[in-house]
A and B are shown apart, each in its own frame.
Chain A
């Protein structure tokens, strides 16, 4: 018996997997049997659309993980910070000049002294910091409320850069050479600090971020109704335009980042650093600067995701929970895979929406299904769909 099991181990394993998949499909078919085709298509569509932003969040986590080998538990709070800063410059009529100037100066100081603080002694750097912060402050405050898109974009840019660089500089860099456990704890600690800071600055109430408005009417978009499919599907499929725009913008940001990563020299340096830090250092790359750039890039991605999520569903401290749901997506796609991040994000979006379809009263979709997927991935295929398989005995 044992010999037979040993001989056909691979086949038996696949048979078990197939059995599990069949049971899962049976369960799903049973749950979905009573639903109309329109609702299933609707769920699938909104799953994909919601998953676009999840993919962007997952990308941010993957970028950090590739570059520095740290899994960033604070990514959700970076999203909140980015979204909230954007809101501050977008929706508040009177922008605090002191706040803007402080934000700009701190950002420029950190950006110019990424390699080391001694850079700040050079006259050239000082001038750059001065000029840069003046320019940024002007961009953030100049003009009336007609310029609020410019204010908000430059403010969110500076805020994301400041968050990413500060986290890397003051919390992650001192830990080089420490065990993984320390880095994980550090990102958790950063998450708590960011939690407190955002709560002090913006409170716990949900903020309205009306970025997805119809330029013609100035009000929210009417949802798209797929009338043509009504007959075929026995029901009406309604697609929210906000979700579509967020998905498209997430896709654009994703492609933009991939282009940056693949075709620019900084992207090349980042890839080299991710491959082997010592080797990168040996060929003359400034690893510390590149790590800082990775953190800033991840903070950008988090900010974009925060703004998109805030515009689509409303901005509050709760969007940090999105990142917790994205952890299963990252693991599902594979910790090192950039395309895997997007696919994982979309899969988790679909899982979430179908969970909500099956049982909407108990928050199965948001609070249970992603974590069940996480457990499944961990037990069946810890390296994920597209990740590197590590030869590691446990």
Chain B
């Protein structure tokens, strides 16, 4: 079905047959769609052109859709292509999110280093929980991943509480490129504080303060933010360096808000600190994160699409369709399954890391069993085992939530308590979401178990065959 080509296009070589872009028109439309996606933030009010055609919230919405597309595409590799049910995907996302957060907070990794490291870490954990696939399959494997969904959040909540903060939310700095060469060097003493004005959203000021003279234990560096209040040392955007005795000897601060800052030093009169100020490219705004997340999501979707036409991808599909036959054909079934688990967890880890840096704050509540089920629902609704299934499913569910919840809520809160006096209108808001995606999943399982992507293929075939139906 999917192989219908325009008249006159023949695949004369193996390369033609396996090509991702079958015709030049295919390629043109794909590139056009990608460019259009990149131009979307220009339409928003806070974009560089300030057109205001699109609400600012939609930029964040598309970015979050892209994050979940990455996660669900990972699930697609495991569930859709390799046929292994996983109920623990949200836990792997949580590992990615918490892994990158811990790397960034405790070890001072930048986002660019934390992303691949936490993705690899998640992949390793995925391998570990994929090990039961050596002995069990099908429903039993679903049970093993369900155990992962409980064991991993437990481990994050209790044994690792020193790093993760238990159930409390954990905040993160925004990703940044730079700082580039300092544009100013100043010296600060207790009598002469330094005043400076920090810039706008995309380019931010990074200041590094270092004690150079004076008794370390009596000196205290403070950065006063716009408004005059000193910043606490635990601030997300501040990195504190201490000496062996625990005294603060250096500070690094990213001035995320525009306005007047002051660096002041308290302590003995001979104390001196050197302040270097530099510019950096910050990804704190939604638009900047959009340009980080969306191309990455497109790249990962493309990689997954490409993987399916390689030897590994064909091995995935053969294990899904008939594992005994696959083994007979020389596919190492166990290694293939482990590869799928690894890749799926890597995708989940990347998505979790992006989610953590996009929201600047994560908590364990975000990675519960409900999210695993929701992602499975997204995959089935979009179409498991189709390259675009993740995109369709996530977009469908997210748009349904965005459109239907605000539309249904006042209506339901109005007449349900009238009809049944025991219903409290307060409870309706949070309960619509599970009903919505559970209901959508039931409808799709009964009416179209192959998902939206299957309909999309049918539509494409019908378009290519027009005006003849066959």
Interface residues of chain A, those whose CB is within 8 Å of chain B, are 71, 88, 92, 94, 96, 98-99, 170-171, 174-175, 178, 180-182, 184-186, 188-193, 195-197, 199-204, 324, 327, 331, 362-363, 367-368, 371-372, 374-375, 378-379, 382, 392-394
Contact = CB atoms under 8 A, between A and B. Distances in A.
Main secondary structure of the interface of A (DSSP, over half): helix
Contacts, number: 150
A378 B431 contact: no
B376 interface: yes
Interface in B310-329: 323-324
22 contacts: A99-B422, A171-B446, A175-B446, A184-B139, A186-B445, A189-B377, A189-B445, A195-B431, A197-B435, A199-B430, A203-B424, A203-B426, A204-B427, A327-B143, A363-B158, A367-B150, A372-B147, A375-B151, A378-B135, A379-B132, A393-B324, A394-B136
B278 interface: no
Interface string B416-443: 1001111110111011111111110110
A196 B433 contact: yes
A394 B134 contact: yes
Q: Which of A188, A379, A392 has the most CB of B within 10 A?
A: A188
B154 A378 contact: no
B348 interface: no
Contact of A96 (B137, B159, B420): B420
Contacts of B424: 203
- Pairs of residues from A and B, 7 with the lowest C-beta to C-beta distance, nearest first: A192-B438, A196-B435, A199-B431, A189-B441, A193-B438, A196-B434, A362-B158
A281 B445 CA distance: 26
A198 B333 CA distance: 43
Contacts of A324: 146, 150, 369
B433 to A, nearest CB: 7
A394 B416 CA distance: 51
A188 B370 CA distance: 10
Given A192-B434, A371-B147, A382-B135, A200 B416 contact: yes
A372 B146 contact: no
A96 B434 contact: no
B85 A181 contact: yes
Contacts of A197: 431, 435
Q: Which of A94, A170, A200, A374 has the most CB of B within 10 A?
A: A200
B412 to A, nearest CB: 8
A372 B432 CA distance: 33
Nearest to B412: A200
B154 A192 contact: no
A367 B134 CA distance: 25
B390 interface: no
Interface in B380-407: 380
A382 B136 contact: yes
Contacts of B324: 393
A175 B158 CA distance: 41
A367 B154 contact: yes
B462 interface: no
B136 A99 contact: no
A180 B139 contact: yes
A21 B367 CA distance: 34
Interface string B440-460: 011001100100000000000
A195 B441 contact: no
A295 to B, nearest CB: 15
Nearest to B147: A371
A175 B443 CA distance: 11
A102 to B, nearest CB: 9
A192 B147 contact: no
Nearest to B379: A185
B85 A184 contact: yes
A187 to B, nearest CB: 10
A362 B135 CA distance: 31
Contacts of B431: 195-197, 199-200
Q: Which of B132, B147, B159, B436 has the most CB of A within 10 A?
A: B147
B449 to A, nearest CB: 6
B438 A196 contact: yes
Contacts of A362: 154, 158-159
B138 A180 contact: yes
Given A185-B377, A199-B427, A200-B431, 9 more contacts: A96-B421, A184-B85, A185-B376, A185-B445, A186-B442, A191-B373, A193-B435, A199-B431, A201-B423
